[in-house]
Amino acid sequence: MCKKVQKEPNIRNHKIFKVVEYAFNNPYFTETDVKEACGLTEQEFRIIVNKTMVCDTRILKRNKDGNIPKWYMGSDSFFNYLEYLELKEARESAKTARNVALWAIGISAFLAFGSIITQVIGLVECN
């Protein structure tokens, strides 16, 4: 019996993915920026951002002066996101290659069938 192929889960709706994608598109951001853009609570922000992002600690020390800390994407998150984008592109390329191969097989089968028919007609006319 054939196994049912499961669709790829939609990770774009996951908050971690939203934060990483936001950070990829916005090199520097504040806590308020990412919370509003990704719909994060304070607790979600602390859990997600502390594992995936890096904060400018010099600004954190001067935060008493009113400076707002800027966050940016950590190198691990950056390269993991790049790998995700490459995998996504590779899957799309594989689908395109599959479709081209199927068309090529179909055309060659049609031409082979046409060649057989012309040979049969040629043999019938000779007799």
Give per-residue pLDDT as tens, 89-117.
Answer: 999 999 999 999 999 999 999 999 999 99
Q: Which two tokens stand for residue 54?
A: 């890096």
Q: List, for residues 2-31, the tens digit of each pLDDT value.
A: 566 556 667 777 888 888 899 889 888 888
Cβ–Cβ < 8 Å for 31, 43: no
Q: What is the pTM of this model?
A: 0.64
Both tokens of 11, joined, read: 């990770």
In whole angstroms, what is the distance from residue 84 CA to residue 74 CA? 15
pLDDT tens-digit series, residues 52-83: 888 866 555 555 555 677 888 888 888 989 99
CATH of 8-73, one of 1.10.10, 3.30.70, 1.10.150, 3.40.1710: 1.10.10
Torsion of CA 22, 25, 30, 34, to 10 degrees: -20
